[in-house]
Amino acid sequence: MHDYRAVLNWKDSITAASTVEGLSSPPTTLSYISLLNIVLATGLQYLADKDMAYVGRFTADYRVIEASLRVHSKMASDLSEAEEPPDLNRVEAIMLQALYFQNCGRPNIAHNLASLGVRTAQALVSRSSFWAAPGMHHEPSRSQNLLPYEAELRRRLWWSIYCHDRRNSIALGRPYIIHDQHCDVKITANADLDGLSPLDPAPIRSRPLTEYTPASFKIFAIELCRLGGGITDYMQSSRPHAYADILALDDMFVAFQSNLPPHFDMSQRATTVTQEGAFLNFSILTYRIQMHRRYLLRKVPKSPSPDPTAQSRLLAVQLSQRLIATLVGSLGKLTREQMRYFTVPFHVFEGAATLAIATLQTPSDQAFVELNDRWIVDARDALVRMGDDNVTASEAVRCLDALRHKISTIVPPRTRLTPVHPPPDVHGATITKHSASTTSYSNGRHASISSTASRNSRLGSGHGSHPPLHSNLSMSTQPHTAAGTDIEYEEWWLRPEGGEPVWPLGQGALEFNQTGYWTNLMQRLNALMPPTPPSLSS
């Protein structure tokens, strides 16, 4: 479940340069020193529990060495920028620094570093060394005499950067940097580079996409990120759009998922590509949630006024339930160190927080509130199991506790919220204890969900998907039922005093010391809460 499989590869990142150029020893450039330090720091960041005793023989606290390596990497890359021309080593080092901070729960710093990495990649100029062909966003020309192996490594690094830029633009609610019309790089070849000689002049043969290779995942991830760019175009555009545009884009995601080859089907037996298929399916779910959630974060028109965007609000809820079910069910296959990767706890939090916002809109619907609360507690329990050292998971638990506390203060007294162990203090708030008995609940619910078929085209079974459980949430099977004139309602964006609107629930919501962010969210919810909330299922 890693964005930078090609980057975090010792063969490609560390030895490829010396092998291709025929050197007997690694390069000594500042950019290479920066890359080496951040690769070692990242290795310690993902240090497995079983290896801690071994590392403890050399240092009392490996975190000190990890921090020192990260600092030295940043210093070396800064010096390289001042004294050396840009090269692939520096691009890799900066992007790995961005990934390091993202996995530390600091997505804003990571976003700034990733932006620098993109600009550095685009600034590469033609030189005698293969490391510096004209901007990485352009396909190398024949005159540059790049060997097929060299050119393919370059393409794979570029498309890894491209995917990272598109995913972060969605999660952070910011425009992406890399535009398709500026790129003419060929798509990664569907080929396994292991065993190929870097000096072999023979072209690399790309296999059909129906045949699995280690590069297959990256090819489909690139196409998925291109689709994801359409969401950013819609949300960041200053031009008005019709709601039919969103439904058409959603149809494209559904079609993409249904056309994935069988080896990415999560419903099949576990294979070597199960994890890659899971990542693709999780990404599709999160993209669709982000796309439809913007209609959840609006005032619902009072009946009998038309509600053309009701389908998106239903999808935001149902897809979030499915995301939690699939993620929680997959966590048992991940090691504790793999759970430190930012995407894992963030997507668990994202689905639960979306359900919490939907619940706050309909506190009078007891069945809806109780069902969603069980999903939220499932997600919270999964985050707690990730450990206190997982800073993103710990912060996500605090945010969910704050949202559940808000829910507990507005639901009717008869509502039975799922009990949890006493949570830590959340910005001065704790979850209210209800004296009524709680609804019985078991993990068998997930198994029953996976065996249920959905009749709606937008909630088709797909690969590893789970239809919703709440029977009252019925949707029309006719696509584009809400097409036509787009009726706008007051948006639930947070607008800091004197500032621009920011998206709730983005990665920035999990930054450290964001008490004011959640305080403002609660105040907005109070102001927008209708006296008698209409039921989402009506």
Grade residue 511 by pLDDT with cuts at 50, 70 and 90. Answer: very low
For 393-451, what is each residue's pLDDT tens digit? Answer: 888 888 888 888 888 888 888 888 888 765 444 333 332 222 222 222 222 333 323 33
Residue 481 scores a pLDDT above 50: no
Task: Indicate the burial class of 83 (C-beta count within 10 angstroms; 0-12, 13-18, 19 or more).
Answer: exposed
Helix (H) / strand (E) containing 50: none
pLDDT, tens digit, 9 for 90 and up, residues 210-241: 899 989 999 999 999 999 998 888 878 888 77
In this prediction, residues 242-259 reach a mean pLDDT of 91
* Residue type (1 letter), 45: Q
- Tokens 């000096």 found at: 199
Q: Across residues 529-536, what is the average pLDDT?
A: 46
Local confidence band at 12 (pLDDT 50, 70, 90 cut-offs) = very low
What per-residue confidence (pLDDT) applies to 500?
A: 39
pLDDT at position 122: 92
List the single range of 18-22, 97-101, 102-106, 118-122 with lowest mean pLDDT: 18-22
Burial level of 397, CB count in 10 A (0-12/13-18/19+)? buried
Mean pLDDT, to the nearest integer, of 29-35? Answer: 93
* Contact (Cβ atoms closer than 8 angstroms) between residue 158 and residue 164: no
Work out the average pLDDT over 459-479: 35
Three state DSSP letters for 336-364: CCHHHCCHHHHHHHHHHHHHHHHHHHCCC
User: pLDDT for 140-164, tens place per residue?
Assistant: 766 567 888 888 998 999 999 999 9
pLDDT of residue 379: 94
Provide the pLDDT confidence category of residue 131 given band limits of 50, 70 and 90. very low
The answer on pLDDT for 469 being more than 60 is no
Percentages (nearest 5) of helix, strand, coil residues in the chain: 55, 0, 45
Q: Give residue 360's pLDDT.
A: 85
| Tens of pLDDT, residues 184-194 | 999 999 999 88
pTM of the predicted structure, to 2 decimals: 0.74
Peptide bond into 304 cis (omega under 30): yes
Mean per-residue pLDDT of the chain = 74
